[in-house]
Chains A and B, each alone.
Chain A
Amino acid sequence: MSAVSRLSSSLRAVPESLVPGWIQDAVPAVEASLPPDAAVLYVTDDPNTWRCGLWQRALLPRAVFCLRPGEKSRRELARIRREFPLRFAVGSAEPPSDLVIVRRRAVSPRIWVGEIGP
């Protein structure tokens, strides 16, 4: 009986969503802040690239490029901007010093949206 009980509780405890609630909650506000189909830069200090993948999929079909401020961020940003005319950024971390964000506003306790300056 205890095996059955453990099996039953295991099944009941199955996670219901792959995308964490704080991302799901922020997505509608982020979408409302951006023009349709505009590509965005996602600024994060999270070393886990998995989470970047969650944002890319949550905002599909919008193209999402992930940028982690650091030594390589200037070169990475230049490479992305050569290929895509990026105008908007979403972030959960402070942007690197050479990335100017204007009209920045918070859409959730952890997420901000803004326009990339010249």
Chain B
Amino acid sequence: MSLLLAFAAALFVAAGFASLAETILCRRSTDVFGWNESFVIGASGGAAVLFPLSLVAPTKALDLVALAVSLSAVAIPWRIARSFRRPPGPGASPPLRLPLALTLSIVPGVLLFTVLCLRTAFAWDAFQIWGTKALLLFRDGGLRPELWPGSLYEGRSGRTVNYPALLPLFEALAARVRGRFDFMDLKPIFPIFFLSLLLSVVRGVRAAASSRALCLSAILVMGFVPVATSRPVLGGNADLPLAACAAALAAAWLAPNPRAGRWNSATPWLLGSLLAAKSEGLILFGAALAAGAIVSAGRLSRAKVRSHAAGAAVALALLAGRIGYLRWTAIQDRTIDPPSDQSLARALVRIPEVARLCGSELMRFREWGFLWPAFLLLALAAVARAPGRGRVVALAALLGTAAYSAIFLQTSWPVRLHVNQAYSRLLFQILPVAVIAMVCGYESLRADRPGETEEGAPAPPDKPGLAGAERQSASDPAPFSAAPGEPRAPIAR
């Protein structure tokens, strides 16, 4: 019974996050993918707003977010009823419907994950850092810059202060709804993130793939890759929420988006969501921006820059919030050495060792199979041949993987120990984007074969493929003409 109530509380909060994002961004999602995107935006937006709220209402910030989330959750039946009453637009998918084959491929994975998650002990960080930050948030009612009571130095417990708030906020809100804080009640949150991750991968792959079999293969790889059942992922760390945010961003980027560039477009909010889940999200944020800048270099017109200014402002505001929070807490993370002549010289010496250790981790068959070698080949193919959006996703995944490997050049830990403990968790954060990038790469190779679909060829209305997404953003003469709330293309929403 206790477990059921914990599940109900977690689902209530997740629904509230989604509904809140629907309201604030004037969205009217009609399918499960749109609601999933809203969930990620709502959760990360709530985490972003928690810091300024904690400044103005230090003991009431959590309650204010809880109030907004609860009211939004209560309004969901009304929202769903309204979406059923509305006449469907041309080609619109039925509300909350997912193809049977995809459902059958997702449900077993989520069920397996749920059982294993409930039966797996908390990972170290999940308990000592993330769950503890949630406990403090639950007790104090807001974020505070002080270290954990009794911390004499910035250690494991001290770092609870400057870690991002997405997961602790979700956990603290679920505890608030439940009426008590118990670490075991936090477990139901993680299957929700796993489901969200799979839905985003489905959406991203459907936008890029031309065949259903390819789509199903990608889902099975993502849902049943051995590392998804490892303790760091099952045990409640924030790597899973960050992976869900990255997956949602890649999917939103590939899907047709009539609101592109607007303040209420999903993309800038999802870009900012990377900063709300885990500190390393800043690296993924940078990788995504760099990939976008490299691919679009020389193709940006002044008019296009101006039309995307509002969206860019949203992402920059979220970045400013994260930097402001880090300055407020003033915690120096000692895991990574600050740049200096000495540390840079040591980094150069470490390159062969880090390359060898990371390479052997990428080739670890029991955790990954042949996923990463396949990713490297297909992502390079996507960078060389895929349409612009697929190229950005593949390049971002490659840059993210390279940047995550480079972290170990500057680590203050013994290199081998740090790689062994952290690298597979870092790779898991990129994994969903890597899977989508692999599909983009495969499609780009396939498009050149005789008899296959050419890039830019008309896509069927219920499966626009990457070419459809490209066409919508690149050649639509008035891409921002859709009114707020206007239904989008079926795959996108």
Contact = CB atoms under 8 A, between A and B. Distances in A.
Interface of A: 7, 10-11, 13-19, 39, 50, 53, 56-57, 60-65, 79-80, 83-84
Interface string B101-112: 000000000010
Contacts of B135: 57, 60
A81 to B, nearest CB: 11
Interface stretch (B149-157, B200-208, B374-382): B149-157
B157 A17 contact: no
Given A11-B3, A39-B150, A60-B149, A53 B184 contact: no
Given A16-B2, A56-B157, A63-B150, 13 more contacts: A7-B111, A11-B118, A17-B184, A18-B182, A19-B183, A50-B128, A53-B128, A56-B149, A57-B132, A57-B135, A61-B139, A62-B149, A64-B149
B132 A61 contact: no
Interface in B360-401: none
B127 interface: yes
B119 interface: yes
B139 A53 contact: no
A50 B157 CA distance: 12
Nearest to B112: A7
B124 interface: yes
A10 B115 contact: yes
B122 interface: yes
Interface string B79-117: 000000000000000000000000000000001000100
Contact of A18 (B111, B148, B184): B184
Nearest to A6: B115
Nearest to B183: A18
A50 B128 CA distance: 8
B150 A64 contact: yes
Given A56-B150, A60-B149, A62-B149, A15 B184 contact: yes
Contacts of A64: 149-150
A14 B150 contact: no
A70 to B, nearest CB: 19
Contacts of A16: 2, 184
- A-B interface, 8 closest residue pairs, ranked by CB to CB distance from nearest: A63-B150, A18-B183, A63-B149, A14-B118, A10-B115, A83-B152, A53-B128, A61-B149
A64 B152 CA distance: 11
Nearest to B128: A53
